[in-house]
Structure 1
Amino acid sequence: MRDTVRLVLSAAVASACAATLLAPASALAAPDRQQGPGAPSLRRVTEGADGPSGQASVSADGRYVVFQSSADNLVPGDTNASADVFRHDLRTGRTTRVSLTADGAQIPYGGHTPVISATGRYVVFVSRGAVAGEERTGYVRRDLRTGRTDRVGGDEDLYPAGGVLTGASVSANGRYVSFTARQTGTGRPGHRTAVRDLADGGLTVLESAWAGEAHLSDDGRRLVYWESVPAPVKYPPDRVFLRDLRSGAERRLDVAVDGSTTTARSGHPAISGDGRRAAFASWATDLVPGEDPNGEGDDVFVTDLRTGKIRRLDTPAPPGFATDPSLSGDGRYVVFGFTPRGSVHGVTHLYRTDLRTGRTALVSRAPDGTPAAATTSGRPVDARGRTVAFTSEDGALAPGRAGQGGDVYVRTLN
């Protein structure tokens, strides 16, 4: 689901697996048909875009959405024939371009893969030529208040022989940025992750040679990541870790009830803005007490990082598997992808679960109440868990002119 690094799933195994979510059966089995005043609302951000749009990320207050788009009709003067990064103000309806140089000129190579800081002031994205005199492709951080753009880092910081950037995360105040690269040109490529402190320029590279899909807490102190270890087996082991960047302490999160480390595959980690909870997907059946009604197959789990208690989110019906969780700022809400068993490979529907009440709501809901295929990216949900940004190629989700090749949408839930 996420447009970053994914766990490799076998289609045969995925079709046989089922995921569960902690909510009444009717909460997920029946379409969400709330209507009238106060009902959840949906808007298309990329109205009439003449190119595909995606990789949406939302600020903590739910006001700003940043995204990438290949369209050249979203703002005047877009003539670089490249994908660019844009910011949409949900209060005013105004869209502006983010991937600009410090003096406001468009970047010939554009920009892509953005993530916005919780405050909405900073946007981190991949570009080339955004910083004067810098022609290397890499992550940059743009200050939307001052226009200043600083280089964060690139694949050469992790793989001198070359690599491909695969994702980034940013602290609330924009000071810390984590980024990941995948090694290329080898038979057994790994993933490496680093964290840049833009206050002093310091770079911390994680010791693991397979650390990927990393996400920072709002204060930049805690980092979750998954480790997929290449091995000469069909299904290599995947594990989820939490690292305290201040103390250097690290611990594994996918731990079985008896305290042992599970041998099942785990990945797609997320962390709440306050650093209190983490979430991940796993095939493990021994992370929580009792029998897993689905057996092996992707479920979403939430860990209380203070107590170590793990909670599985159950979805009794329809059969399928859940993955790619994201957490609201206080960790109360979990947004995740759900793929019904037997559906077309890659078709994922989005849901949100309230961990306090157990209620599950359909986020990617079509006008007739049925689920639509959709994907999310880094920081897709606001601090309160009410605003969710996602991408879908279903042009009928909202009224108005659909964009070409996929649109960015924002759902507001009660």
Structure 2
Amino acid sequence: MRAALGATVVVCAVTAVLPGAASAEPRTVPGAASVSGAGVERISVATDGTQGDGDSAGATITANGRRIAFASSAKNLAPATPVTGQRVFVRDQRTSQTTLMSTLTPPIQPPVISGDGQYVALWGLLQRDTKTFLSRVSSASTIGINCSGLSCSQPSLSTDGRYIAQVATFSRPPSRQRIEVQDWQANHTQTVTEFGHTVSARPSISGDGRFVAYQDGQAEDVFVWDQTDDTSAGPIEGPSKAATLVQISKDGSKIVYLSGSDTYVQDESSGTDQLVPNARGVAIDPTGRYLLYAPLDTNGPSLMLRDLETGTDEIVSDQPASAGTDAVSAGGRDVVFHSTADDIVPGDTNGKSDVFVRHLY
């Protein structure tokens, strides 16, 4: 596999930064407190502020923090639409508007919003196969995004939403999958790589569409593809470790991956890794400076934000909480997450999982 890709092994110097080894006073908005509730908003609410009557999760945020996409089974967020099950919504922080994005199919995984907030991608079941759908936020109109396989899945969006990296799966013999990048506006598809198996492939695309980090789940390796010369390099973790991809930062400067019980953040200009031990990396902000991670020590906070330049940490949630990729706005200002805790904000009485945003400054 590695020979077929013409991959090169990157020898990395690793610097370790211990979780909790350094801490900083939280960056706060004037008049807002820290973890007790101020500085945190509930996002999974109707336009009039009514809390959702169903579970909400899987939030992603735009680079400027204005728009947040999430999935929810709450019927009262769009009561005029008689659709049951999970649906995708966008909350506009500037206008306080909650908009239903698609009624075509329940999402299989959380939605993905483009960095500029213009498009939302999701993938769901269409008859027997899965397909990728793209919704324009301004009109809530939805189109299907094709791929070369019977099933399309795992979409990752460029900043302007024009380029979509996704997995195309061929389920009929021989079963295999292909990672592709589609310029849907030009109706052009480019193959990143093809695997002779259907185990855990997943891509993450940079903001300009040039780089795609991806994992080969069978080999347990992570690679990075460069569109300019159509070549892949890796495994980026070297030959001695098994790795799982988290994501590439939108500026293409950092790739986050997991290996064992540790998280590594690779600097693509130098090839060196920064180690965050005993932690599960969750997301990285578009600039590549701020890492959202979940400490494996369950006695402390559930989500922390690491400034990779200073090594300082800030608490995102000290209640049980979860988050996914693209959960941090640029500069680490805002972090979205979901939790079933009922004391993160006042008036949480629905007994459901809700989506929240923490403003760190």
Mark yes or no: TM-score above 0.5: yes
* Distance change in 2, residues 1:192/1:393 (3 Å): farther
SS for the counterpart of 1:384 is helix
In the TM superposition, residue 62 of structure 1 has moved relative to its aligned partner by 0.3
- Structure 2 residue aligned with 1:116: 113
Asked if residue 144 in structure 1 is aligned to residue 137 in structure 2, the reply is yes
Asked if residue 397 in structure 1 is aligned to residue 344 in structure 2, the reply is yes
The answer to whether the 8 Å contact 1:281/1:325 transfers is no
In the TM superposition, residue 354 of structure 1 has moved relative to its aligned partner by 0.4
The percentage of aligned residue pairs carrying the same residue is 26
Report the TM-score, using the length of structure 2 for normalisation: 0.81
Asked if residue 56 in structure 1 is aligned to residue 65 in structure 2, the reply is no
* Distance change in 2, residues 1:360/1:91 (3 Å): same
The answer to whether the 8 Å contact 2:180/2:191 transfers is yes
Instruction: Name whichever structure is richer in strand by fraction.
Output: 2
Unpaired runs of 5+ residues, structure 1, are 1-19, 100-106, 230-236, 256-260, 284-297, 315-320, 365-370
- Structure 2 residue aligned with 1:205: 191
* Distance change in 2, residues 1:21/1:78 (3 Å): farther
Superposed, which structure 2 residues align to 1:189-204 within 5 Å?
A: 192-204=178-190
In the TM superposition, residue 108 of structure 1 has moved relative to its aligned partner by 5.6
* Distance change in 2, residues 1:190/1:281 (3 Å): farther
* Distance change in 2, residues 1:388/1:205 (3 Å): same
* Distance change in 2, residues 1:407/1:21 (3 Å): farther
In the TM superposition, residue 136 of structure 1 has moved relative to its aligned partner by 6.9
Q: Deviations over 1:385-412 (max 9, x none)?
A: 1111111122222212344441111111
Tell me the distance in 2 between the aligned counterparts of 1:306 and 1:33: 29
* Distance change in 2, residues 1:35/1:195 (3 Å): closer
* Distance change in 2, residues 1:33/1:276 (3 Å): closer
* Distance change in 2, residues 1:383/1:267 (3 Å): same
Asked if residue 180 in structure 1 is aligned to residue 174 in structure 2, the reply is no
Tell me the distance in 2 between the aligned counterparts of 1:45 and 1:62: 12
SS for the counterpart of 2:111 is strand
- Structure 1 residue aligned with 2:3: none
Unpaired runs of 5+ residues, structure 2, are 1-15, 46-50
Asked if residue 168 in structure 1 is aligned to residue 145 in structure 2, the reply is no
Tell me the distance in 1 between the aligned counterparts of 2:227 and 2:330: 22
Asked if residue 244 in structure 1 is aligned to residue 197 in structure 2, the reply is no
Q: Deviations over 1:16-47 (max 9, x none)?
A: xxxx744553639xx98989835441111124
Tell me the distance in 1 between the aligned counterparts of 2:192 and 2:137: 29
- Structure 2 residue aligned with 1:337: 294
* Distance change in 2, residues 1:200/1:262 (3 Å): same
Report the TM-score, using the length of structure 1 for normalisation: 0.71
**Counterpart among 329, 334, 351 of residue 382 in structure 1:** 329
Superposed, which structure 2 residues align to 1:219-298 within 5 Å?
A: 219-229=208-218, 237-252=219-234, 254-255=236-237, 261-283=238-260, 298=261
**Counterpart among 26, 42, 64 of residue 44 in structure 1:** 42
- Structure 2 residue aligned with 1:359: 312
Q: Deviations over 1:142-187 (max 9, x none)?
A: 2223554332136xx33x4xx5x6522100111111123677799x
Stretch of structure 1 that moved more, 34-43 or 189-198: 34-43
